[in-house]
């Protein structure tokens, strides 16, 4: 069983019909998945609950924290139906959009969203069927708009539509989303992914509902959200570059530069960032990807993303495990490239002005100077470890988290090998002893090596990173019992899984380290 990854960039994989059995989920984890995504645009709440139970049981079996991201559907704006099921449009002709639910034809079609009709104005662009049909508003009136067909021809029932240049008067959370949100929170997921975010108020609305029970992953998919990138990144806990939807509402040549910009901003603010959508799309039906897809994944890694994500490839494709294994191989190959390390160093964000920033940067520089085997971070809320991950160090980060929820959240972060250790730390000596035993047990260091430790004092106080210490792993250090060593053995996998599902803490068992 895998106990550590030989790479820093993480893999997120979506679970679905092709990957919802215990054996398949275990195979995906062994192939390299760090965080599993539950896509609430598909499937039932009951099924998502069942799948999460499988993930939690697997977590207990392998003795390693596994993160879970619940992705809310968000508003889906769709046209009504046509008398014949479809129409053929001609460029230069005009078609009316109104709120009448009657089936449409070549002259008119229903948009069952009156508020959208009111928000559009003359000159607005409307994209239909993922941008395959493009129209421009030429006239507005009470309850309707007339639009000229600019491009495209065939349009069928219930196709989606996008309005890229208008702030739509629509909440990012529908009634379905609210139901799914509270269901996911009750399940105990670590991340809630928000769709259709247009402005900071959308995130604030979600935070009010979540009340700290999970962290927010903001899916950047609307051009209006890009206008508020810095503020939205500050308000969120992580970002997803959702390139599929962005590619509909923005011109495709804009996407690569925007991807790099979002990654830089997320790294500057110390927030994990995921690059998603169509990364290995051809592997839905083929055992190998295209060369362009391999380059796409590699580019995201070179850009410094915390994680790359598989969607339909792992949820509904014919080769889900192979897709994960391929992504794992691509990441490893990139991270072995000397040029990759040069890029990470050249793009390091300028240092912040907090004590935590100063301590983290000092720890990284000290670790490099003495050729330390690892940087060990003690954290309650995750902040200490996130500061270390922002540096994109060439040295492994061991994130020791006292809270299981924090441990699962940190799995998403760049270069972090997370260890859940619920034992309380009271002194520097206990801290050093725990760090020493952990790095040795998990295969990151051996006797004679140096490790750099960062923590906050007083211990168990969130957001107080203020201590850095270099420790040599020697015989005397290894002979000391780490905190909690004299306590009863960890619970059995079945008992631990049950406790995890009920919200109780599960201690990660020491696992013999093996290469992937």
Q: What are the strands of the beta sheet with 374-379, ordered from one edge?
A: 416-420, 397-401, 374-379, 450-456, 465-472
- pLDDT 10s digits, 186-223: 999 999 999 999 999 999 999 999 999 999 999 999 99
Residue 431: pLDDT band by 50, 70, 90 thresholds? confident
Which residue in 339, 435, 350 sits closest to 390, CA to CA? 350
Residue 375's SS3 state is strand
pLDDT at 351: 65
| Total of domains in the chain | 3
- Is residue 495 assigned to a domain? no
Does pTM top 0.85 for this prediction?
yes
C-alpha neighbours within 13 Å on the C-beta side of residue 124: 23
Final residue before a domain boundary, out of 110, 141, 162:
162
Question: Checking DSSP bridges between strand 374-379 and strand 450-456, what pairing results, if any?
Answer: parallel
Closest to 360 (Cα-Cα) out of 388, 394, 327, 319:
388
Q: pLDDT tens-digit profile of 109-119?
A: 999 888 899 99
- Give me the active site residues, please: 37, 78, 219, 277
Residues 6 or more apart in contact with residue 330 via CB below 8 angstroms: 294, 297, 298, 301
- Higher confidence at residue 338 or residue 498? 338
Residue 132 lies in a domain: yes
435 and 332 within one domain: no
Residue 364 in this model has a pLDDT that exceeds 70: yes
Classify burial at 240, counting beta carbons within 10 Å of its beta carbon; exposed 0-12, middle 13-18, buried 19 or more: buried
Kindly state whether residue 509 falls inside one of the protein's structural domains: no
pLDDT of residue 460: 66
pLDDT of residue 513: 30
How much is the pLDDT for 327?
98
Which domain range does residue 154 map to? 86-162
Give the per-residue pLDDT at 130. Answer: 87
Q: Which residue has the tokens 């794992």?
A: 328
Read off the CATH number of the domain in which 371 is found. Answer: 3.40.1380.20
Is position 56 within any domain? yes
**Pair (464, 359) in one structural domain:** yes
Residues 331 and 265 in one domain: yes
Return the beta strands (E) in 343-430 as ranges: 374-379, 397-401, 416-420
> What are the pLDDT digits (tens) for 440-495?
999 999 999 999 998 877 776 676 678 888 999 988 778 888 877 654 443 434 44
Tokens encoding 457: 């004092």
97 to 211, 331, 429: CA distances (angstroms):
40, 47, 71
Nearest to 452 by CA among 395, 391, 387: 395
């Amino acid at each position: 069983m895998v106990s550590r990854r030989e790479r820093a960039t993480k893999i997120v994989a979506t679970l679905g019909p092709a990957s919802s059995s215990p054996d398949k989920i275990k195979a995906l984890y062994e192939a390299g998945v760090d965080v599993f995504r539950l896509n609430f645009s598909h499937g039932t709440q009951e099924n998502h609950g069942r799948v999460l139970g499988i993930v939690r049981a697997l977590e207990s079996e392998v003795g390693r924290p596994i993160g879970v991201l619940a992705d809310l559907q968000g508003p889906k704006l769709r046209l009504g139906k046509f008398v014949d099921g479809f129409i053929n449009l001609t460029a230069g002709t005009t078609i009316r959009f109104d709120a009448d639910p009657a089936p449409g034809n070549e002259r008119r079609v229903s948009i069952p969203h009156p508020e959208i009709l009111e928000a559009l104005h003359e000159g607005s662009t409307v994209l239909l069927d993922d941008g395959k049909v493009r129209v421009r508003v030429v006239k507005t009136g009470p309850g309707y708009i007339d639009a000229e067909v600019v491009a495209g021809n065939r349009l069928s029932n219930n196709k989606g539509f996008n309005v890229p240049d208008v702030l739509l008067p629509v909440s990012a959370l529908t009634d379905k989303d609210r139901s799914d949100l509270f269901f996911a929170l009750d399940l105990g997921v670590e991340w809630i992914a928000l769709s259709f975010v247009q402005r900071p108020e959308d995130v604030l609305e979600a935070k009010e509902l979540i009340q700290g029970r999970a962290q927010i992953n903001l899916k950047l998919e609307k051009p209006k959200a890009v206008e508020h990138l810095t503020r939205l990144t500050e308000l969120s806990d992580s970002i997803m570059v959702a390139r599929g939807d962005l590619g509909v509402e923005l011109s495709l040549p804009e996407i690569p530069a925007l991807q790099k910009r979002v990654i830089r901003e997320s790294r500057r603010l110390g927030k994990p960032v995921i690059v998603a959508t169509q990364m290995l799309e051809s592997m839905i039906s083929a055992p190998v990807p295209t060369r362009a897809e391999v380059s796409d994944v590699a580019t995201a890694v070179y850009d410094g993303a915390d994680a790359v994500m598989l969607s339909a490839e792992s949820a509904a494709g014919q080769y889900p495990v192979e897709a994960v294994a391929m992504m794992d191989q691509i990441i490893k190959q990139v991270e072995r490239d000397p040029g990759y390390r040069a890029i990470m160093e050249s793009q390091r964000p300028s240092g912040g002005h907090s004590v935590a920033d100063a301590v983290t940067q000092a720890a990284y520089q000290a670790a490099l100077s003495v050729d330390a085997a690892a940087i060990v971070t003690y954290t309650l809320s995750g902040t200490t470890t996130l500061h270390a991950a922002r540096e994109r160090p060439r040295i492994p980060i061991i994130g020791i988290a006292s809270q299981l929820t924090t441990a699962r959240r940190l799995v998403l972060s760049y270069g972090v090998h997370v260890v859940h250790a619920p034992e309380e730390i009271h002194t520097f000596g206990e801290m050093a002893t725990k760090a020493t035993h952990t790095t040795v047990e998990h295969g990151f260091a051996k006797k004679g090596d140096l490790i750099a430790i960062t923590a906050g004092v007083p211990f168990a106080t969130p957001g107080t990173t203020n201590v850095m210490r270099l420790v040599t792993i020697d015989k005397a250090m290894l002979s000391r019992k780490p905190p909690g060593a004299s306590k009863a053995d960890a619970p059995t996998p079945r008992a631990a899984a049950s406790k995890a599902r009920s919200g109780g803490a599960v201690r990660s068992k020491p696992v013999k380290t093996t290469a992937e």
